[in-house]
């Protein structure tokens, strides 16, 4: 029995027998909000409608700023035309590609000037679960980019929470 199944069995109060199936245990979830914002909960149907709306969608193949160099353009075009990798749903892959394209159209020039590489922004990992190897632009999805600095990219979720993707050393990108 691996340690996660063992821990799950402990949580369920059954430490002696192995866990046959998986169950989700949610004890406490907190959402860090900016002061003055109210929490807005959405049902899954409303979420699907919001992400499918025409205003939230960016058409694949849009125009990129002229300042983006040819090698970046090739990298981005390759990413946008790539089929859905193993380990990720088609819907999630579509959101990731659209977020990456939106980032390319609105923030890539600034990121390039700050020293970000195409690999740091647009790399597709060998396993989708390897977030540490995933390009930052692929993690944006349908969220809004607030700032791009030399060290990080800050995004804002629909609930108002802010997430920061920090730039790591480049040795793991080789």
Reported as half-sphere exposure (CB side, CA atoms, 13 A), residue 128 has a value of 12
Residue 156 CB coordination number (10 Å): 15
91, β-bridge pairs: none
**Domain boundaries in the chain?**
64-173
pLDDT at 170: 55
Residue-wise pLDDT tens for the chain (174 aa)?
Answer: 577 777 777 777 764 554 444 444 444 444 444 555 554 544 444 444 333 332 223 334 457 888 888 888 888 888 888 888 888 899 999 999 999 999 999 999 999 999 999 989 998 888 888 888 888 999 999 999 999 999 999 999 999 999 998 887 655 444
DSSP state of 152: E
In 80-169, where do the E strands start and end? 144-148, 152-156, 162-166
40 contacts: CB under 8 Å, gap ≥ 6:
158, 159
């Amino acid at each position: 029995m691996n340690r996660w199944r063992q821990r799950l069995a402990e949580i369920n109060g059954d430490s002696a027998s192995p866990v046959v199936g998986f169950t989700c245990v949610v004890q406490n979830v907190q959402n860090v909000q900016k002061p003055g914002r109210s929490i807005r909960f959405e049902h899954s149907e409303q979420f699907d409608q919001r992400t499918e709306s025409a205003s939230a969608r960016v058409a694949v193949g849009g125009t990129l700023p002229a300042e983006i160099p040819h090698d970046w353009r090739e990298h981005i075009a390759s990413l946008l035309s790539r089929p859905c990798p193993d380990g990720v749903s088609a819907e999630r892959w579509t959101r990731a590609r659209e977020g990456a394209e939106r980032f390319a159209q609105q923030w890539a020039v600034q990121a390039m000037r700050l020293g970000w590489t195409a690999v740091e922004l647009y790399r597709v990992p060998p396993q989708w679960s390897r977030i540490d190897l995933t390009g930052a632009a692929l993690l944006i999805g349908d969220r809004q980019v607030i700032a791009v600095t030399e060290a990080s990219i800050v995004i804002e979720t629909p609930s108002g929470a802010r997430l920061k993707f920090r730039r790591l050393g480049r040795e793991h990108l080789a």
